[in-house]
A = this chain, B = another copy of it.
Amino acid sequence: MHSVRATPGEGPLFAQVQALIIQRMVDGIWTPGERLPSEFALAEEFNVSQGTVRKAFDALVHENLLIRHQGRGTFIAAHSAKRELYRFFHLVSKDGVTPPPQTSRLISFERRKCSAEESRRLKISKSAHVVNIQRVRSMNKAPVIIENIVVPDALITGLGEDNEIPNELYQLYEQSYGVTIHKAIEHLHARATTRSEACHLSLIEGAPLLEIDRLAFTLDGTPVEWRVSRCDTSAHSYLSELF
């Protein structure tokens, strides 16, 4: 009963089904929060067995792209504040309880032409414009993080200084601009606090800061956010679990 495929491809059938589902997500046919047709319905559409669709679904769940609910259905994963923090925020307090950043204070917001480095990192044209947000995030009422965020202007057209900018930006990108962050790569370094950072974080110039240099990508592999966070780790730590 091997199927005729919508897009001829190679590899096992379950991988082709997987690719087709991802393609519909990338094309915006299925959007975050939307419920998918049932396994049986898709099996019929793709002319494969229900078990084959099951295997494709399982793989996509594992990649945080789908969420399954027994009795309800299968949904395109959407960012919620809680889920965003769990996946993309690894700073924890010493006592092991992770309070989400409670507040963030905007330092600056500007739209401008990108720099050469921003062009390179975000793979945009040298003449493209970006939105540049700088903010301080506090935990337990103390400033802990100062971060610089750069996003191509074309992706979040309309976001202005007047908008309330939430702590959890990925939910905002997704809900208001249809940009869904799927994965991020972070490089961590120990750096010395600059005078400006010292001022914002109530630290002594030269004190050690943990720098998190992050590139965030959408599902099709496009880098859409470059974020550099500098964190005071005297009362917090960056948690990494290795398996």
Contact = CB atoms under 8 A, between A and B. Distances in A.
Interface of A: 62-64, 87-88, 90, 92, 182-192, 206-211, 213, 231, 233-234, 237-243
Contacts of A208: 189-192, 208-209
Contacts of A92: 187
Nearest to A236: B189
A219 to B, nearest CB: 11
Contacts of A182: 243
As for how many copies of this chain the complex holds, the number is: 2
A165 to B, nearest CB: 21
A207 B193 CA distance: 11
Given A206-B206, A208-B209, A209-B208, A187 B241 contact: no
A201 B52 CA distance: 54
Contacts of A233: 188-190
A186 B210 CA distance: 14
Question: Which 4 A/B pairs are nearest by Cβ-Cβ distance?
Answer: A190-B208, A187-B237, A188-B238, A189-B233
B187 A190 contact: no
A96 to B, nearest CB: 10
Contacts of A237: 187-189, 213
